[in-house]
Amino acid sequence: MIRTNETIPAFSPLHSVYQQVQSCLDHSEEDCTNVKFWIAVGAVCSAVHHEKINDYDIFSNLPNLIQDALLHSGHRMTFEIEGRFQNFQVFGNKIQVINGFPVESAEDIIAMFDYTCVCGAYTPDEFVCHDRFWQDNATKRLVVNGLPYPLSTMERMAKYAKRGFTPCPVGLLTLAKAIQ
């Protein structure tokens, strides 16, 4: 794992959304003092490449409190996939609060993702990423980190290929064997 508390200019959109969610928690009727959360996955990868961020995935140790705080703050839930996430519109941004996988640390988030280029977790105080995160984003290479859902990983491969990423041959073979 690589950790840094340096300011990364490309992460300013992440910072803005993080502050919006934190503000909702600060004004919540619930006690949210123990809530930890990170912005992770595709939003981090898109920010690195200065690309449009489609949605912001929020991972937390207490995702239900984040969902309640967003609703209490008047943000509307646009849809929900029960057991996995709730989607909100927050000041024009699509925020997905991931409730199917509560996490206690950035390392927990990184361990659950398929490609190293998305294995990063952001807070204003710290950015934690996979050892290969920066290298694989610089070369736009899809290197497998883990395969908890091989078919989803294959679908995501097509999505990232449209964005110019190339699969690593070893990872492609690993994925093929996992699907088999």
Can you list the positions of beta strands (E) in the chain? Answer: 2-4, 37-40, 56-60, 76-81, 85-90, 93-98, 120-123, 126-129, 141-142, 166-167
Q: How far apart are CA 137 and CA 48, in angstroms?
A: 8
pLDDT value at residue 156: 87
Can you give the pLDDT of all 180 residues of the chain as single tens digits? Answer: 999 988 899 999 999 999 999 999 999 988 989 999 999 999 999 999 999 999 999 999 999 999 999 999 988 888 878 778 889 999 899 999 998 888 999 999 999 999 999 999 999 999 999 999 999 999 999 999 988 888 888 888 999 999 999 998 988 888 888 887
pLDDT value at residue 77: 86
Q: Which residue has the tokens 């990063």?
A: 120
pLDDT value at residue 149: 83
pLDDT value at residue 180: 76
pLDDT value at residue 67: 94
Can you list the positions of beta strands (E) in 20-159? Answer: 37-40, 56-60, 76-81, 85-90, 93-98, 120-123, 126-129, 141-142
87: tokens are 């989607």
Residue 21 CB partners (closer than 8 Å, separation 6+): 37, 58, 66, 69, 70, 90, 95
pLDDT value at residue 64: 93
Rg of the chain taking only CA atoms, in angstroms: 16
